[in-house]
Structure 1
């Protein structure tokens, strides 16, 4: 048995939490019920522990979780007070449920810490918003909640504390260090890349958000998490560019020695970045990589490209691209350390200049739209809870809060997923209710309930993650029975009421799920990703118009950045849903948009505008073809179809070879546009990685976000 538990829970995180929550809940409940003799205080000591210890998933180390618990205590007081004051009337309580249900859920857009607290905070309003209307008991209720939170915070520190999860920056450090080794091998000994690449790919793969627990993802609205996420995406992009360089013929490259020098400098910067992230070195700066990029540009200026075929300029353009991405990586890491870049307030790192309060408000504001999955999910849950509260009041259900608790348990992001939770939830509830009814009919000594409660509670809190929803619902039904048997006189009809309330809650959850955005994250992700690709197509057209014709930059880049943020939010919700294999690589789809945006920013920043008029027709045609592929893929996504592979590149145009230094800028543009076409090809996935180096890393680099 213990080996089976270890197999499913290697670090015993689930078991540890079940023990802590049970210990605190029973200690608080027994102290309030049997020592203080307060029937009003005891349920809040117990359910306050359940809300913030079992229903909530708070990220971080034990110290961080303890601080979070203490920090949210005033919010809990407010929710309990509001629920108590609004319980005088069914309509008022339901209205309060809708407003607070939406607000508590919606603020989860601020990051995993708030998302993890949402369900527990909902329960702190649900419990007191039912009759009896008794404002005089509010001090005891608040005292019970306070006791629960204080004991739970102490237990996080001293009662079998969880192992501290590895910081995300250490995962990033491993990926960055492995990348640096690949870059150094590329510059000095290309044959070593084959043996270094598997580890680099594994380290980069470990940064995928879908492979991390939601509580460990750098997804908050603050500067640090934004910068960590940006650095991770840049590291995966760099790995892809390393492989592109490996497959580029360096023997005929006109700037081969200068490119090798740039690669060595960038490898050193990336290595220093990994050392700092791990805590083994000083904070890197951009001076070294900027100087290397400057030296490379000087080398290109001193080399006349006139009369040379375009393929001889390709390697230099790729190396310069890698240098620019390295500079972005270093800037992102410096923001993690609290520095601010000197480039200005616009562009990729705009958030580095804003205060924390503004960034949180910005995150809330950009999601305050019906097209945001966070808005949809909050509104869906708020409507379900409010309707359930109204029904429970109209029917005068004696334990109506069970209806709302059922909705918190079974309602999912999509109607299909909600339906999939019904059978185990109902089966578990019915089975638990039968056992509970038998116990109550036996007329056991009350001491039996006191002794049995902690045993059943530990099993119930551990059963959900280890055995599934049905077991947790059945055992939680027993827990509720054992608790109420110690607070008020009950009989076997309590179990009957439990089943009826769960059925009502399940019915409300299913109906709301059917009528309010029933497709969940998948439907919105298709629309959001399609919008992002459409805006990326506009970026492609505008960038070439600016660089070739001197056109004044418009709003294509800001629009695409905002579309990318909403697409990322949709993808985050999509990852939380249980789904089978999909023909679309959604991370590759998002990178197709991000590569267009970030590549355009670097090109416009580093190249003069309007200097490519002699080949404006060729560039416009090439950009138009790539942008049309983006538009076509976007349209297919919005129709719910799998995007088809873009057609082969059109026959090469006759490119001028007498434009002097402008030929290098043209090469940079063409490398960017060719990369964008390759990104679109990977949207429908690549073959399983084989012996080919490009296949080994494609599923990682193409999935950067």
Structure 2
């Protein structure tokens, strides 16, 4: 039992296997022995297998039940089309290709659709084989309806799975820790503590961080600290919090989450939550930068501390709303703090000061602007629509849901999309297999297609790795099935042992691997057909032949259709993203320095970033040796280029820096060249090249207020260089950097 709990925490696989088995057997036995409808019985059973075992529906039990009921009309359509197209092999194969591609490709709309894809495929596969019998369609539809209704009821009543932690709560924890970091940073700058109890609600902070932060405790328990002692306490608190907030922010990455928990649908809500998580990760990186930038003589330091204090309160409100503990946040106080900070800069002449003395204020302004974007994203996620169309990353804020779905499908309708590649690969394999099975007149040809659904993976190497256990398991299960049929036992034995074998078969996949699940599923199919039609031991032989044919078709298609899977496409997509980011750097500086017309660099980079993130998500689902490239950090550098450019274009005057246009252009070209070199190395399959030292540029000190804008641009450019320089070694991630901060504090 201890071994079982180690392999299956919470016994989720066991509970699911029992639940699906009870529903499948109940529907099958009712149709076969009570209603005496042999044509209805297989659909009651395989409908349950399709939507209960092959499908992975995310969400709470209630959400899964509602999803099942919602897809019932789609199930009717697939069974009906499959029944009608079984009139000929070519019609069935053509339908298999079209529906195979469509059902798989619409998965770009979100994890709920991805989880349903394999089950939906089976609902077409089963009826598209002979006999051509449209008259049995009512019984087939009734069987599928029974399966879906019983399965939905079972999701609610039979050992329902625990509801996973919602993405909003994960985001709330990261933002709460970020709020505590801002507050600690403000204490360090101001030398006096802020209002106790403001930052990071206690329920969201880990116990250790909460105790270190001191912000979530009652005011009476917070010791009195002032002056230098308070500043040191704030710095120590920040050092203790940085590793935890980094881990919480990294845990929001799609690659670190199960597919069903990712906010990956085309809806405004999921797009906004994903944008909020990305902004939180960028804020964590800049907070770490500010820890290393200790400048007590920085210009406008008191105003920067007040701005950070307002950002802390704003992120605290975001965390409270996300966790259901507070009202929807707004940016009123933060906008006022940003205005006050800019006013303080206009009232302080920076002439004669070196650019380094202005970096802290520029970073603080970046934190304030990105915090404002975080609040805006959360308000969109709540369902609020801005009064006017929005440009940039939040272009979707006022778009209708049908438009957003169409846009998601359209942007992935390209051979460079891994979703398009995967859908086309699977559709071709299923269509070819249907033609082969029909041409060879295989009596149970749907097993060929079911094998492809089981073994075909995103890359040829992954597909080959599944063949050995699948074939060994099938042969072993067939031998046992043939022996059972040769014994010529009483049919009642099949009725009794079917539920036991089915439970073991459904549970063995996650617990023991593909080989065991194939062996037991072979035995399940034998027991089912032995109760529907007369069979002999040759049924096991047919099963082995079908699996071999399906495996051969799957391997051949995998070799010819994008055989490298996510690895090859990730390198290409990341290289394109780096190249697009280089153009963003050049264009943004040109707009800021000389007032050039803003072009298409930002939209192009946003699109390249989406394809790169999708490729990385597929890459993470595959098995690869350790890569010399830190893919997460590399993509973050590109996102920093895009998000930073958007903030600069939005908040800084354009075309007012002509006196130092040459210096800015040289710095921009230096950073853009780093992105271009990274792009070239990725495209060639090499590791990222070293980032050379920055080109020395003599910066003016006599431009008055324009020096602040120059500082904002320099901080962005230097941050991009740091991003690329820290991405050369896979272990030099933000998490490791933050851990070193804590070690240094200790």
TM-score by length of 2: 0.92
Note if 1:400 corresponds to 2:439.
no
1:601-636, CA deviations, whole angstroms, 9 ceiling, x for partnerless residues?
110111111100000001000000110111111111
Contact between 1:564 and 1:594, CA under 8 Å: does it hold in 2?
Answer: yes
SS of equivalent to 2:10: coil
Q: Which residue of 2 aligns with 1:703?
A: none
Q: Which residue of 2 aligns with 1:177?
A: 176
1:32-88, CA deviations, whole angstroms, 9 ceiling, x for partnerless residues?
000011110000000000000000000000010000000000000000000000101
Work out which of the residue numbers 710, 720, 724 in structure 2 matches 1:676.
720
Q: Identify if the C-alpha distance between structure 1 residues 506 and 153 changes in structure 2 by more than 3 Å, giving closer, same or farther.
A: same
1:86-127, CA deviations, whole angstroms, 9 ceiling, x for partnerless residues?
101001100000000000000000000000000000000000
Q: Which residue of 1 aligns with 2:636?
A: 591
Q: Identify if the C-alpha distance between structure 1 residues 560 and 7 changes in structure 2 by more than 3 Å, giving closer, same or farther.
A: same
SS of equivalent to 1:491: coil
Contact between 1:686 and 1:695, CA under 8 Å: does it hold in 2?
Answer: no
Q: Which residue of 2 aligns with 1:88?
A: 87
Measured in 1, the distance between the counterparts of 2:240 and 2:489 equals: 68
Q: Identify if the C-alpha distance between structure 1 residues 476 and 691 changes in structure 2 by more than 3 Å, giving closer, same or farther.
A: closer
**Residue 593 of structure 1: CA displacement?**
1.2
Measured in 2, the distance between the counterparts of 1:325 and 1:109 equals: 28
SS of equivalent to 2:149: helix
Q: Which residue of 2 aligns with 1:102?
A: 101
1:533-552, CA deviations, whole angstroms, 9 ceiling, x for partnerless residues?
11111110000111101101
SS of equivalent to 1:88: coil
Q: Identify if the C-alpha distance between structure 1 residues 590 and 687 changes in structure 2 by more than 3 Å, giving closer, same or farther.
A: closer
Note if 1:193 corresponds to 2:192.
no
SS of equivalent to 1:443: coil
Measured in 1, the distance between the counterparts of 2:735 and 2:119 equals: 49
Measured in 2, the distance between the counterparts of 1:675 and 1:311 equals: 13
Note if 1:605 corresponds to 2:658.
no
Q: Which residue of 2 aligns with 1:371?
A: 416
Contact between 1:222 and 1:359, CA under 8 Å: does it hold in 2?
Answer: yes
Note if 1:380 corresponds to 2:379.
no
Q: Which residue of 2 aligns with 1:43?
A: 42
Aligned length: 696
Measured in 1, the distance between the counterparts of 2:515 and 2:283 equals: 46
Work out which of the residue numbers 355, 369, 373 in structure 2 matches 1:324.
369
SS of equivalent to 2:266: coil
1:429-472, CA deviations, whole angstroms, 9 ceiling, x for partnerless residues?
01100111110101111111101000000010011011100010
Note if 1:267 corresponds to 2:266.
no
The worse-fitting range, judged by mean Cα deviation, of 458-467 and 557-566 is: 557-566
Measured in 2, the distance between the counterparts of 1:452 and 1:149 equals: 24
Measured in 1, the distance between the counterparts of 2:158 and 2:328 equals: 37
Contact between 1:410 and 1:509, CA under 8 Å: does it hold in 2?
Answer: yes
Measured in 1, the distance between the counterparts of 2:735 and 2:267 equals: 41
Q: Which residue of 2 aligns with 1:701?
A: none
**Residue 559 of structure 1: CA displacement?**
1.0
Q: Identify if the C-alpha distance between structure 1 residues 159 and 254 changes in structure 2 by more than 3 Å, giving closer, same or farther.
A: same
Measured in 1, the distance between the counterparts of 2:438 and 2:49 equals: 24
**Residue 170 of structure 1: CA displacement?**
0.3
Contact between 1:70 and 1:150, CA under 8 Å: does it hold in 2?
Answer: yes
Q: Which residue of 2 aligns with 1:577?
A: 622
* RMSD, aligned α-carbons: 1.4
The worse-fitting range, judged by mean Cα deviation, of 562-571 and 203-212 is: 203-212
Contact between 1:421 and 1:469, CA under 8 Å: does it hold in 2?
Answer: yes
**Residue 695 of structure 1: CA displacement?**
4.9
Contact between 1:464 and 1:471, CA under 8 Å: does it hold in 2?
Answer: yes
Contact between 1:201 and 1:697, CA under 8 Å: does it hold in 2?
Answer: no
Q: Which residue of 2 aligns with 1:64?
A: 63
Contact between 1:83 and 1:93, CA under 8 Å: does it hold in 2?
Answer: yes
Contact between 2:301 and 2:361, CA under 8 Å: does it hold in 1?
Answer: yes
1:612-623 mapped onto 2 (5 Å cutoff): 612-623=657-668
Runs of 4+ in 1 over 6 A off after TM superposition: 688-692
Measured in 2, the distance between the counterparts of 1:39 and 1:161 equals: 31
Contact between 1:689 and 1:695, CA under 8 Å: does it hold in 2?
Answer: no
Work out which of the residue numbers 624, 627, 647 in structure 1 matches 2:692.
647
Q: Which residue of 1 aligns with 2:468?
A: 423
SS of equivalent to 1:345: coil
Note if 1:354 corresponds to 2:354.
no
Measured in 2, the distance between the counterparts of 1:450 and 1:386 equals: 35
Measured in 2, the distance between the counterparts of 1:692 and 1:368 equals: 38
**Residue 138 of structure 1: CA displacement?**
0.2
Note if 1:450 corresponds to 2:495.
yes
Q: Identify if the C-alpha distance between structure 1 residues 343 and 602 changes in structure 2 by more than 3 Å, giving closer, same or farther.
A: farther
**Residue 132 of structure 1: CA displacement?**
0.3
Work out which of the residue numbers 537, 541, 549 in structure 2 matches 1:496.
541
Q: Which residue of 1 aligns with 2:121?
A: 122
**Residue 199 of structure 1: CA displacement?**
2.4
Q: Which residue of 2 aligns with 1:19?
A: 18
1:314-350, CA deviations, whole angstroms, 9 ceiling, x for partnerless residues?
1000100110110111111111111124574211111
**Residue 240 of structure 1: CA displacement?**
1.1
Work out which of the residue numbers 318, 330, 333 in structure 1 matches 2:378.
333
SS of equivalent to 2:160: coil
Q: Which residue of 1 aligns with 2:703?
A: 659
Q: Identify if the C-alpha distance between structure 1 residues 320 and 91 changes in structure 2 by more than 3 Å, giving closer, same or farther.
A: same
Any unmatched runs of 5+ in structure 2?
188-233
Measured in 2, the distance between the counterparts of 1:491 and 1:123 equals: 25
Contact between 2:633 and 2:733, CA under 8 Å: does it hold in 1?
Answer: no
Work out which of the residue numbers 234, 237, 258 in structure 1 matches 2:279.
234
SS of equivalent to 2:264: coil
SS of equivalent to 1:39: coil
SS of equivalent to 2:71: helix
Any unmatched runs of 5+ in structure 1?
699-705
The worse-fitting range, judged by mean Cα deviation, of 510-519 and 229-238 is: 229-238
Measured in 2, the distance between the counterparts of 1:645 and 1:224 equals: 39
Measured in 1, the distance between the counterparts of 2:732 and 2:687 equals: 19
Measured in 2, the distance between the counterparts of 1:245 and 1:162 equals: 44
Measured in 2, the distance between the counterparts of 1:79 and 1:183 equals: 54
